[in-house]
Amino acid sequence: MKRKTVFIIILCAALIAATVVIVMLTNESTTGNNTAYTANKELAEGDAKSDAENSTKTAVCSFYPVYIAAKNIAKGVEGLNLTCLSQPQTGCLHDYQLTTDDVKLIESAGLLICNGGGMESFVNAAEYAKTYPGLRVLYASENLPVNELEEDNAHYWMDADLYEIYAQKVAIALSDFDTENAGIYMENYAAYREKIEETIALRDELSLEGKKVVNLSEPLSYLATDLGMEVSMFIDLEEEESISADTLAKACEILRSEDAVILYDEEGAEVANTLVTETGAKAVCLDVITTGDGNEDAWISGMTSNYNLLKEIQ
């Protein structure tokens, strides 16, 4: 936890410096008119419609968690077409394959916002630089610390502190991509950051340090570690088509001997119910925020619900 805290302080300092530069540059280019941030402010009257179409910038998010962060930061910005590559019900992109429409969407974009950490295996930034010379690629999780338990775990948004940095990096990328609206992006980030920190305050009310868990969901490793919980066993349901009798027996033994609880998402409900039946252990189904209806408060409401549910196992 201490190593994570020191790392976050250093990274935040660097990002704050970048934010200050963006704000200063924005202020220098502002004429004092409130319409200075409007993307179409200088359109000629005769060609207003065609010029507005030409001035529209397209930013594409790879999947749901990235899209939710970007949606908050781009709120109210005119002249930006923000869209998501995958459908809201797709979930994580481990086995995602680009469609013809996806390729066309990327070709039309100026900014591609990815989670990173190997989540988007179909994205090769170096190759994209050659194929799409006008496209910028952001990996929102770049330089963030990986989960100590699973080095290839890229579900960073489930750690509230990391998500705050994650969102800031999205804000900086959008500001750099669409400099005319940089002020709005950074103002929106400041407002979103307040919401994130209110959610973090709920997390800090929990007392789960050292609580033993059997975890059935890879994204929840970040949440558990963030809360100081001890993952006694992780069962990777994405890798194992069926759980062996030995694995179930081991999980049951841990649940009984360590008074551990079960953490799972909706995909792990069947296994969780089996373990509860066998041991009588407590189980908590949590939201991993990889699918939803696209509501901008999806992360806030999802994590708030998670923290409230976790109060029951303190």
Asked if residue 214 and residue 71 are part of one domain, the reply reads: no
Asked if residue 274 and residue 129 are part of one domain, the reply reads: no
The answer to whether residue 302 sits within a structural domain is yes
CA 256 centroid distance within chain: 34
Evaluate whether 111 touches 173 at the Cβ level (below 8 Å).
yes
pTM for this predicted structure: 0.82
Question: In whole angstroms, what is the distance from residue 264 CA to residue 44 CA?
Answer: 56
CA 283 centroid distance within chain: 25
The answer to whether residue 299 sits within a structural domain is yes
The total number of structural domains in the chain stands at: 2
| Helical ranges in the chain per DSSP H | 2-29, 48-55, 64-73, 100-108, 125-131, 160-177, 182-204, 220-226, 245-257, 269-279, 298-310
CA 60 centroid distance within chain: 14
SS3 2: helix
Mean pLDDT, consecutive 10-residue stretches, the chain (314 aa), reads 50 48 41 30 31 71 95 96 83 76 92 92 80 91 78 90 96 97 98 98 97 96 96 87 89 97 96 97 97 94 98 93
Q: In this structure, what CATH number is given to the domain that contains residue 306?
A: 3.40.50.1980
**E strand or H helix that includes residue 113:** strand 111-114
pLDDT at residue 91 in the model:
64
pLDDT at residue 229 in the model:
97
Range of the domain at 66: 2-33+56-203
Asked if residue 261 and residue 176 are part of one domain, the reply reads: no
Evaluate whether 223 touches 153 at the Cβ level (below 8 Å).
no
Where b means 16+ CB within 10 Å and e means fewer, 94-131 reads eebeeeeebeebbeebbbbbbbbbebbeebeeeeeeee
Compute the C-alpha angle 163/167/52, nearest 5°. Answer: 155
Asked if residue 232 and residue 130 are part of one domain, the reply reads: no
pLDDT at residue 52 in the model:
41
Question: In whole angstroms, what is the distance from residue 74 CA to residue 68 CA?
Answer: 10
| Helical ranges in 56-141 per DSSP H | 64-73, 100-108, 125-131
| Helical ranges in 205-238 per DSSP H | 220-226
Residue 83 pairs in a beta bridge with: 60
Evaluate whether 18 touches 171 at the Cβ level (below 8 Å).
no
Asked if residue 17 and residue 166 are part of one domain, the reply reads: yes
Tell me which residue has tokens 């990096």. 169
Asked if residue 223 and residue 189 are part of one domain, the reply reads: no
Question: In whole angstroms, what is the distance from residue 118 CA to residue 116 CA?
Answer: 5
pLDDT at residue 130 in the model:
83
pLDDT at residue 131 in the model:
86
Question: Which domain-ending residue is among 152, 177, 203?
Answer: 203
Question: In whole angstroms, what is the distance from residue 234 CA to residue 218 CA?
Answer: 8
pLDDT at residue 126 in the model:
73
